[in-house]
Amino acid sequence: MYKGILHTHYLVVVLFLLIYVIKTVLLLSNKTDLLQNFTKKVKVPEMIISFLFLGTGVYLMTQLPFGGKYDHLFWIKIGMVLASIPIAVIGFKKQNKILAALSLLLITGSFGLAEVYHKKKGVAKDDAVADSTTPKGLYEKNCKLCHGDDGKLGAAGAKDLTATTLDVNAIKDIILHGKNSMAPVAVTDEQAALIAAYVQSDLKGH
Ligand code: HEC
């Protein structure tokens, strides 16, 4: 679902940009008749594209993990998109080349900014891949089900990890080889070490 919407969003953004570029080029080269013709022809597709652009954008926004240090990039992007709309409407209506070019600049700029934002966050393109590479992400993926977010859950007879007296090596050993009713967890040696360190420093004693 998320990936499908993301791909749709990319596609409509590209189509949206394409229509914009063509319109701006026609306006800048004084091909007013062609511009009017083109505008008329793409009116309905453009409406559908704008609607999809907005709808997929709002959905994706609700899926973003806010609270990171790059949030401002995202808000600048949204600001640029929102500013470009009235500028474009006025620019094309009054056939004002400066405004039309400015709105195109804003919308392409916001596209570039979105790329930077997603690269920095390392999300969105591939369902938060970054998650399974951090100790916390690894813990959540492999342990949370039985031990809970904070280690205290104790589902299926699991032990409270905040109260364990085991050291980091013993924890790693249990992750890799299991203990009584806890089956071994399918992670690599390095991943087990990361998770054990996470349990030791972030969960124990809290
Ligand atoms: C399917 C449920 C389940 C999952 C998933 C699971 N555990 Fe456990 N865990 C248990 C159970 C049950 C015990 C109690 C074993 C026993 O009888 O001593 C346990 C015990 C432990 C203990 C021993 C605590 C003590 O003081 O004796 C540690 C450490 C531990 N788990 C860490 C982890 C970590 C880290 C992960 C993720 C990599 C994980 N577990 C995933 C069920 C689970």
Report the range of poorest mean pLDDT among 68-72, 89-93, 114-118, 130-134. 130-134
Q: What sections of 29-96 are H helices per DSSP?
A: 32-41, 43-63, 71-93
Residues in the chain, overall count? 206
Please tell me whether residues 170 and 78 are part of one structural domain: no
Domain's final residue, options 94, 127, 160? 127
3-state SS assignment for residue 179: strand
Rounded mean pLDDT of 77-94?
Answer: 89
Q: Is the pLDDT of residue 127 over 50?
A: no
CATH number at residue 177: 1.10.760.10
pLDDT number for residue 4: 84
Distance 109 CA to ligand 1 centre (A): 49
What pLDDT sits at residue 32?
A: 87
Supply the range of the domain harboring residue 96.
Answer: 2-127
pLDDT level of residue 206 (50, 70, 90 thresholds): low
Output the residue whose Cα is nearest ligand 1's atom 14: 158
Q: Do residues 151 and 191 both lie within one domain?
A: yes
In terms of domains, do 20 and 121 share one? yes
Give residue 121's pLDDT: 65
Q: Which residues pair with 177 in a beta bridge?
A: none
Burial of 38 (0-12, 13-18, 19+ CB in 10 A): middle
12 confidence band (pLDDT: 50, 70, 90): very high
Tokens of 139: 């813990």
Distance 127 CA to ligand 1 centre (A): 27
Is residue 74 within 8 A of residue 58, CB to CB? The reply is no
Tens digits of residue pLDDT in 28-81: 999 989 999 999 999 999 999 989 998 998 888 887 766 667 778 888 888 998
- The total number of structural domains in the chain stands at 2
pLDDT at 154: 83
Instruction: Calculate how far, in angstroms, residue 128's C-alpha sits from the geometric centre of ligand 1.
Output: 26
Half-sphere exposure at residue 8, Cβ-oriented, CA atoms within 13 angstroms: 18
pLDDT confidence of residue 24: 92
Nearest CA residue ID for atom 36, ligand 1: 143
